[in-house]
Amino acid sequence: TGRIPVELLAKANKGSLSLSYDDEITSDAASSCDRSTCKNKNNKKIIIPVIATVVFIVMILTVFIAIWIFKKPKARGTALRIRKQQYTYAEIQSITNNFNVVIGKGGFGTVYRGHIGDTQVAVKMLSESSHQGEKQFQA
């Protein structure tokens, strides 16, 4: 591989030297490939790694995005609308079926199960002996 010196080509042309070479190589100015062929080879040496790198990065990003989407906690059901509403003692007795079912006791007092229409609710009653504030009770 490589260039054929002009002197050897001249001797071969005169017949004093027998050379065997590719027809495209005819002088010292010519190389093992013409300029456009060499340029294409050099471009391929650059383009192929760049494309491979871009494809690899896109694949990695796709995997991370897929993991992020599937690991996101999914909202279960619909969010409840929270609203403050005050009831009379008689209404609370009716909602809790006269405080029939106790579902827990805490620092504020006893929590009862009740129903408002078709919706099951927990009713907590602030105990007079509770030392915790009303703001915390409403949370």
Could you give the C-alpha distances from 63 to 58, 66, 74, 116, in angstroms and in order?
9, 5, 19, 47
3-class DSSP state of 99: coil
CA distances from 122 to 92, 103, 110 (A): 11, 8, 10
> What are the helix (H) ranges across the chain?
6-14, 35-71, 89-95, 134-137
Q: Say if residue 124 carries a ligand binding annotation.
A: yes
Name the token pair of 45. Answer: 């040496």
Read off φ and ψ for residue 61, nearest 5 degrees.
-60, -40
Q: Which residues are annotated as a binding site?
A: 124
Q: Which residues are annotated as a binding site for ATP?
A: 124
